[in-house]
Structure 1
Amino acid sequence: MSTVRIGVFATHPIHYQVPVWRGLAALPDTDLTVYYFSDRSVRGGHDPEFGRSVAWDVDLLSGYRSLFLARDAELGGPWQTRLQRSHLKELERFDWVCINGYTHGFERQIVRLKRQNHYRVFIRGEFSDEGRAEAQGLGRRARALGRRLYLHWFYSRVDAFGVVGAAARRHLESLGVQPSRTFSSPYCIDTASLETQVERNERWAARARLGVAESSVVILFSGKLVPWKAPLLLGEAVMGLPDDAVLLYVGDGPLRAEIERRLRPRLQQRLIMAGFVNQSAVGSFYAAADVFVLPSERDKWGLVVNEAQQFGLPVIVSDGVGCRHDLVVEGETGFVFPFGDVEALAAKLRQLLVSRGLRESMGAAGRQRVLTRYTTEAAVRGIATAMGLGNPASTSAPPS
């Protein structure tokens, strides 16, 4: 088999994408290069949602070939992030060009230039129509129609789609993408790296570091403390629970002071604010927890749920969290509650609070689900199948 030349064009190194690039680069007869427009995630920079400077402490550049086309592109203005004239010749090198979405200028350039450069396009991303209310009013209907027409144009120029989950599949079907062009490539975290944290962090030691008694039930939130993640909604639910419930926030953001102001008087020492925790240390907090909650108003997926399940935690998510279709089997791996319904969330928490057996059985089922279906290997296998890269090693069946 001749070598397949693959070019990946991405905004910046992202810790849950890099393992997929490494996996593709390791396949036989594959020559892969990843192009980036910003190195801020490597060198560090201010993250307004965390409210602080952030530089990930995990290696994001080894194990595959990468090239920075720019170092500080304005990623907040997506149409401005484009391939310059000097970059366009790079496209001539490839058999396949991979992108992660359809909103950036360089992604539109790539689908427009495919025919003249004789490459095929593969796209894998958080495609979803969830959270988009039915258009009301002339202006909103016009925008909805414009989005749909644009996506029809864009998708008609894509050769293969990596489907990360159920919402993505429904989105593609609604736009008439043929099943023969879709390949399961489930959304995943760095499975192998997180598993080393699972093995390294012991529950008793993690709880001792936090000063939490073995009899307490630790309810964990991990993420940015921003309004759309709804961390205060969780706090309101926990305030109505018995005194053995401990609420642990891992993350930072503009709502931190408000959380302290509203919850500390009631919860006192049962409120633990860990602040921002980098990737290499996050395992200690999952190990200390008993239940994981993601109460977001909207979240296209919620990869922290993958992390929590790999640590064997039962999960509770709102009906605004996209991964609920894929990772949360109601009553088996966790629960789903209607966003904004504090009483419904509190009721789900009470079920888990009173039954250690239920927590353990749900956690075990969730861990099995994520480790047999939503792994780096499964994601790479789907991309390899789409590109006809032979028969990559199979470790598990991807989700249907």
Structure 2
Amino acid sequence: MTDTIPKEPIDVAILYSIPSPYQENLFELVGNREGINLHVYYCKERPADRDWNIDSGEYSYESLPGVTIHSQYLNPSIVRRVADKQPDVVIVGGYSHPTMQLGIVTARTLGLPVILWSESHDRDWSNREGGVSTKLKNRLLPLLIKQCSGFLVPGGLQRQYLERRGAATNSIFRGTHACNVEQFYVAARQSERAETHDRYGITEDIVLTFVGRLIEEKGLSELIDAAASVSTEHGDVGFVIAGSGSYEDELRRRCETHGLTNVYFPGFVHREQLPPLYGASDVFVFPSRGDPWGVVVNEAMACELPVITTDAVGAGYDLVNDGVNGAIVPPNDADALAEAITEVVTSDYVDMGRRSSQIIEKWTHEHAADSVVDAVRWSVDSPDLAGSPNQAH
């Protein structure tokens, strides 16, 4: 009898921009998978424009030293790291950052397979504008795609984006963005709605909540204008805009102009405090003019909230069914947003929230880890970049 020779673990290097609470659990799960040796390289130790509490998981990682050259931040040490480690697969989180480009060039020069983790889609506000940078990207991206053995994307819009530029459908693995569904659900159910309302001074019966950075691209001007329209006929509706950012003063001025007293700004809310906020809300609204995904949509749905968002939000495409568990509206359209809000709050929004909970059940970190591992094994098993074995996923 011949003993079976065990396969060597696959060495995986991930090059990612910054530590993120949205990916910590994912990296930990991937790193703990049997047959996977994971090491994550971060371009920066922590984000400069985020107030996140980062609780790094149990996986191997390091923050690379960096330099600023002509206003561009670069991590030249990625060349030595990849060359010395010679991983079996290099996963690169995007292609616009100079360090990511350097990582791709280094890996391909050494003959290492590259998996591109791409979050771009054609409905994003920057791509809709069709400026010089977008046109240049559309010319260069097909060339980059030919150098990649596989692709990781959050959802359907990103898959379409890559397919239109030459990526083979069977090389694209979907579902990288998730949240701890059960944890959010349980924590929201255990929270006290009245207590949260008292904390933020909310007096209205129906509460719509936004969570995110307070920047112009999030469509918050449209939300304030829609709130003004809705409030003229529905005085029992309140709006919570949770987050911090440079646009807060403008939003407050806009509320004063409209004479709104039912819009609340609790500031930045840490992740452990989000479930009580979702649990004290009735509808989640995310009117962004363009977002690669929007994990806050996952979180709100895990807490049984219907979602109103725009067709420029990646998560909306995969997770929100218009009229079933929320509404999809065009970006930059306060009238359409107001109409959607009115329609949802005057319907059975509790049932819509239950539908959200059912839809989000499968969008877990475990599923996301499956996608990453499947992409890794696909790239290792592929005989070359031009042709890959026919696998379904």
Q: What range describes the TM-score normalised by the shorter chain of this pair?
A: 0.7 to 0.9
Within 5 Å, give how 1:181-200 maps onto structure 2. 181-191=171-181, 193-195=183-185, 197-200=187-190
Pick aligned residue for 1:56 from 52, 56, 64? 52
Which amino acid is 2:60 matched to? Answer: R
Cα separation, 2, equivalents of 1:382 and 1:75: 36
The question of 1:10 aligning with 2:16 is answered: yes
Which amino acid is 2:358 matched to? Answer: Q
SS in 1 for 2:298: helix
Contact 1:12 1:37 in 2 (8 A): yes
Deviation string, structure 1 residues 190-239 (Cα, Å, up to 9, x no partner): 445534533542334323433435x6101111112211112121111112
Identify the residue that residue 104 of structure 2 maps to in structure 1: 111
Cα separation, 1, equivalents of 2:14 and 2:329: 38
Pick aligned residue for 1:342 from 334, 337, 340? 334
Deviation string, structure 1 residues 269-315 (Cα, Å, up to 9, x no partner): 42211011222212221111111111122222222211111111111
Contact 1:333 1:365 in 2 (8 A): yes
Shift of 1:375: 1.5
Identify the residue that residue 98 of structure 1 maps to in structure 2: 91
Pick aligned residue for 1:276 from 257, 261, 268? 268
Cα separation, 1, equivalents of 2:44 and 2:270: 20
SS in 1 for 2:377: coil
Q: Identify if the C-alpha distance between structure 1 residues 303 and 74 changes in structure 2 by more than 3 Å, giving closer, same or farther.
A: farther
Cα separation, 2, equivalents of 1:342 and 1:4: 50
Which amino acid is 2:116 matched to? Answer: I
SS in 2 for 1:263: helix
- Aligned Cα root-mean-square deviation (Å): 2.6
Cα separation, 1, equivalents of 2:358 and 2:149: 33
Which amino acid is 1:108 matched to? Answer: Q
Identify the residue that residue 284 of structure 2 maps to in structure 1: 292
Cα separation, 2, equivalents of 1:377 and 1:81: 31
Deviation string, structure 1 residues 86-118 (Cα, Å, up to 9, x no partner): 4343441x1111111111223223332335534
Q: Identify if the C-alpha distance between structure 1 residues 265 and 76 changes in structure 2 by more than 3 Å, giving closer, same or farther.
A: farther
The question of 1:69 aligning with 2:64 is answered: yes
Cα separation, 2, equivalents of 1:224 and 1:75: 28
Deviation string, structure 1 residues 332-374 (Cα, Å, up to 9, x no partner): 011012223222221211122223xx211111111211122x2
Within 5 Å, give how 1:72-83 maps onto structure 2. 80-83=74-77
Within 5 Å, give how 1:369-384 maps onto structure 2. 369-372=359-362, 374-384=363-373
Q: Identify if the C-alpha distance between structure 1 residues 265 and 148 changes in structure 2 by more than 3 Å, giving closer, same or farther.
A: closer
Equivalent pairs counted in the alignment come to 368
Contact 1:108 1:154 in 2 (8 A): no
Cα separation, 1, equivalents of 2:151 and 2:33: 19
Structure 1: gaps of 5 or more residues: 48-53, 390-399
SS in 2 for 1:177: coil
Q: Identify if the C-alpha distance between structure 1 residues 267 and 26 changes in structure 2 by more than 3 Å, giving closer, same or farther.
A: farther
Cα separation, 1, equivalents of 2:366 and 2:182: 10
Q: Identify if the C-alpha distance between structure 1 residues 76 and 238 changes in structure 2 by more than 3 Å, giving closer, same or farther.
A: farther
Identify the residue that residue 362 of structure 1 maps to in structure 2: 352
Cα separation, 2, equivalents of 1:76 and 1:287: 46
Identify the residue that residue 235 of structure 1 maps to in structure 2: 224
Which amino acid is 2:34 matched to? Answer: P
Q: Identify if the C-alpha distance between structure 1 residues 75 and 208 changes in structure 2 by more than 3 Å, giving closer, same or farther.
A: farther
Cα separation, 2, equivalents of 1:171 and 1:10: 21
Contact 1:15 1:190 in 2 (8 A): no
Q: Identify if the C-alpha distance between structure 1 residues 220 and 35 changes in structure 2 by more than 3 Å, giving closer, same or farther.
A: same
Cα separation, 1, equivalents of 2:337 and 2:92: 37
Pick aligned residue for 1:329 from 318, 321, 330? 321
Which amino acid is 1:4 matched to? Answer: I
Cα separation, 2, equivalents of 1:191 and 1:58: 19
Shift of 1:319: 2.6
The question of 1:226 aligning with 2:220 is answered: no
Q: Identify if the C-alpha distance between structure 1 residues 294 and 16 changes in structure 2 by more than 3 Å, giving closer, same or farther.
A: same
Shift of 1:156: 1.1
SS in 1 for 2:315: helix
SS in 2 for 1:388: helix
Cα separation, 1, equivalents of 2:360 and 2:173: 18
Contact 1:186 1:375 in 2 (8 A): no
Q: Identify if the C-alpha distance between structure 1 residues 79 and 209 changes in structure 2 by more than 3 Å, giving closer, same or farther.
A: closer
Structure 1 range deviating more: 196-205 or 276-285: 196-205
Structure 2: gaps of 5 or more residues: 1-6, 379-392
SS in 1 for 2:238: strand
Contact 1:310 1:371 in 2 (8 A): yes
Shift of 1:126: 0.6
Cα separation, 2, equivalents of 1:310 and 1:171: 27
Shift of 1:67: 1.5
Identity fraction in percent: 25
Identify the residue that residue 123 of structure 1 maps to in structure 2: 116
SS in 2 for 1:98: strand
Q: Identify if the C-alpha distance between structure 1 residues 115 and 37 changes in structure 2 by more than 3 Å, giving closer, same or farther.
A: closer
Structure 1 range deviating more: 216-225 or 182-191: 182-191
Contact 2:288 2:331 in 1 (8 A): yes
Cα separation, 2, equivalents of 1:269 and 1:135: 39
Pick aligned residue for 1:249 from 216, 219, 241? 241
